[in-house]
Chains A and B, each alone.
Chain A
Amino acid sequence: NAGVTQTPKFQVLKTGQSMTLQCAQDMNHEYMSWYRQDPGMGLRLIHYSVGAGITDQGEVPNGYNVSRSTTEDFPLRLLSAAPSQTSVYFCASSSGESGANVLTFGAGSRLTVL
C-alpha cells in the first residue's frame, strides 16, 4: 500500500520557469489537498479537491493551478515560478467528500526557485 506518492522530492527552478508537482494516492480518498510549509508559518493550504472534477482555492492559491481529472491524481502546477515559492510542498488526502478528515501526507517536495 503506497499511500500518497509525491514526485519529485527535490527540484530547483529558475525564476519564470513552470513545473508540475505530481501527487497520487491509492486509498480511494475523495479529498485531496496541497499545502506549503515555510519556517515559522506552519502548513498553509494552497488548493483542495473534494472529488474528481471539483477543485477550490485555499489560503494561498496565487501562482498555482490544480486539476482533478481522476480520483487518484491531483497535480499542482506552478505557472511562472518566483523565489517566494521556494518551500516544501505536501500533498495530503483523506476519506470523506465533505472535506478534510484525518489526513495522510506524502513525503513532501522541496522546491527552490533561484
Chain B
Amino acid sequence: GQNIDQPTEMTATEGAIVQINCTYQTSGFNGLFWYQQHAGEAPTFLSYNVLDGLEEKGRFSSFLSRSKGYSYLLLKELQMKDSASYLCAVRDSDYKLSFGAGTTVTVRA
C-alpha cells in the first residue's frame, strides 16, 4: 500500500514563493506526479518525477529524492490564479496511482 502525506493548507502572498512538501511510503516506487485542482474543477497535470532531482517547468518546479521518500512542488512568483489544491500522487510498481489528500494554497494580495 501507499502512505502519502502533505500539509493540509498553506497561505502565501502574491509574488512570493511557496514550497509544498510530500512524503511517501510505498511498496514499490514507479514515479511521482503533481496535479493542480481548482475548487469545483477536475485535477490537471503539473509535473512528473521518476529520477532524483529537480524538474523545472516555468514558474513551477518539482523535486524528488527517492531514498528519502520525499518530493516538493515549488511555486514561484505566485499569482492569484495559483490559489488551488495541489495533489501529490505516487505510482507503484503495478502502475497504480495513489493520491495524497492535497494541499490547499491560498494566495493573498
Query: Looking at the complex, which of B38-46, B51-59, B63-71, B76-84 is the stretch in contact with chain A?
Result: B38-46
Please, how many angstroms separate the alpha-carbon atoms of A37 and B58 in the complex? 29
Number of interface residues of B (CB under 8 A): 22
Known: A42-B87, A43-B87. A102 touches B99 (CB 8 A): no
- What chain B residues lie within 8 Å of A98 (beta carbons)? 95
Number of interface residues of A (CB under 8 A): 24
- What chain A residues lie within 8 Å of B99 (beta carbons)? 35, 42-44
Number of A-B residue pairs at CB separation under 8 A: 53
Q: Which residues 74-114 of A sit at the B interface, judged by CB distance below 8 A?
A: 90, 96, 98-100, 102-108
Structural contact, B41 and A100, CB atoms closer than 8 A: no
- What chain A residues lie within 8 Å of B44 (beta carbons)? 105
Chain B interface secondary structure, helix, strand, loop or mixed? Answer: strand
- What chain B residues lie within 8 Å of A50 (beta carbons)? 95
The answer to the question of A13 belonging to the interface, with a C-beta cut-off of 8 Å to chain B, is: no
Known: A105-B43, A106-B42. A100 touches B96 (CB 8 A): yes
A37 CB → nearest B CB, Å:
9
The answer to the question of B72 belonging to the interface, with a C-beta cut-off of 8 Å to chain A, is: no
- What chain A residues lie within 8 Å of B102 (beta carbons)? 42
Structural contact, A42 and B100, CB atoms closer than 8 A: yes
